[in-house]
């Protein structure tokens, strides 16, 4: 990927329905804040220059980012006036990246992945804007993607219609905006200055920049992600539990494909950074977290809690709590 690429992560949402004292982006999916999932995907895609736009309860996000082992730039959105307004707060960051491309995405959509980011960038290929879309069974609440064929025969993006402003016919469309965009920085900056408030919501929509760019004649495309979960977020703790279950099963499947025997997945939770060698057995109600390493032919559980431990091969641990790096 082009080493000049950068990313702006929008992390200003309050998440009122979470009923939490902390901002939504710090809600955890498999014991890792949602914004960390996003940052990890961005960095795995080869993008190291990152700006996070904070907002509601910003001090919590800023404290979290301060503890990361790498630098992340931060800007504050004092008023929540929409996604377009949020990106405006990163104008100085964007000015320093003129002549390159920037990824803009949400900090509360944990399942965006590096592969989708890189594939969308390949489609973008120096265009004005490329929107990452996904096809979902229940598109309620998402902006709908409308395609058209350009004069040159290219399938391009015609419009993105927000749920609040969509007709009944448009609401039937299942291809939705993921909230992930690749922009040519110069095109994005020029279009931000042309945004006006929505007459319906009083907000500045980032989606409107797409069509300001389209007016200039630059390519505006939609890349449909293979990973439909890339659009998923959580507005309350019920939806957060659903994200956790999706992530939990993904992690378990990854280990099972690598030769770890998990005969019954009931109650088994394995953190994202855990490493388990093949031929280990993980039994029900076991929770394994942190930078734990489990050797071959270990038998863990039932009902084991292991955090930040190195477990040598052929070890059997059941109904135990371990929170040490030493065995």
CB distance 169 to 144 below 8 Å: no
Which residues make Cβ contacts (< 8 Å) with residue 158, sequence separation at least 6?
146, 147, 148
CB of 187 closer than 8 Å to CB of 220: no
Q: What token pair was written down for 81?
A: 């006036």
Q: Do residues 145 and 175 touch, judged by C-beta distance below 8 A?
A: yes
Which position has the token pair 């008023």?
79
Q: Is 74 a catalytic residue?
A: no
Concatenating the DSSP letter of every residue in 91-123 gives HHHHHTTTTSEEEEEETT-TT--HHHHHHHHHH
Q: How does strand 6-11 pair with strand 49-54?
A: parallel
Q: Which phi and psi (to 5°) does residue 68 adopt?
A: -70, 150
Q: Which of 219, 129, 241, 218 is nearest to 177 (CA)?
A: 129
Catalytic residue among 17, 96, 98, 250: 17
Rounded CA-CA distance 66/213 in Å is: 35
Residue 72 CB neighbour total at 10 angstroms: 20
Q: Torsion angle, CA of 231/234/235/237, rounded to 10 degrees? A: 170
Catalytic residues, which ones? Answer: 17
């Amino acid at each position: 990927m082009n080493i000049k690429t950068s990313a702006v992560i929008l992390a200003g949402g309050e998440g009122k329905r979470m009923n939490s004292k902390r901002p939504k982006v710090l809600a955890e999916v498999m014991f890792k804040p949602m914004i960390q999932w996003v940052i990890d995907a961005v960095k795995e895609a080869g993008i190291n220059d990152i700006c996070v736009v904070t907002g509601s309860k910003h001090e919590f996000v800023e404290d979290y980012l301060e503890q990361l082992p790498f630098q992340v730039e931060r800007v504050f959105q004092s008023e929540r006036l929409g996604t377009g307004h949020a990106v405006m707060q990163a104008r100085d960051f964007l000015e320093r990246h003129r002549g390159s491309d920037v990824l803009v995405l949400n900090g509360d959509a944990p399942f965006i992945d590096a592969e989708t980011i890189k594939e969308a960038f390949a489609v973008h290929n120096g265009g004005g804007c490329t929107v990452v879309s996904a096809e979902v069974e229940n598109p309620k609440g998402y902006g709908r993607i409308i395609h058209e064929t350009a004069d040159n025969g290219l399938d391009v993006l015609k419009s993105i219609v927000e749920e609040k402003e969509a007709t009944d016919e448009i609401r039937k469309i299942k291809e939705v905006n993921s909230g992930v965009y690749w922009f040519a920085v110069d095109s994005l900056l020029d279009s931000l200055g042309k945004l006006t408030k929505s007459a319906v919501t009083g907000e500045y929509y980032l989606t409107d920049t797409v069509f300001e760019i389209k007016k200039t004649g630059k390519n505006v495309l939609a890349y449909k992600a293979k990973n439909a979960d890339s659009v998923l977020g959580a507005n309350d703790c019920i939806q957060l539990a659903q994200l956790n279950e999706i992530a939990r099963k993904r992690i378990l499947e990854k280990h099972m494909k690598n030769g770890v025997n998990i005969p019954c997945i009931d109650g088994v939770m394995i953190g994202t950074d855990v490493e388990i060698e093949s031929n280990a057995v993980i039994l029900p109600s076991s929770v394994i977290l942190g930078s734990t390493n489990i050797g071959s032919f270990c038998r863990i559980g039932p009902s084991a809690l292991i955090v930040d431990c190195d477990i040598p091969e052929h070890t059997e641990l059941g109904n135990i709590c371990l929170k040490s790096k030493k065995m």
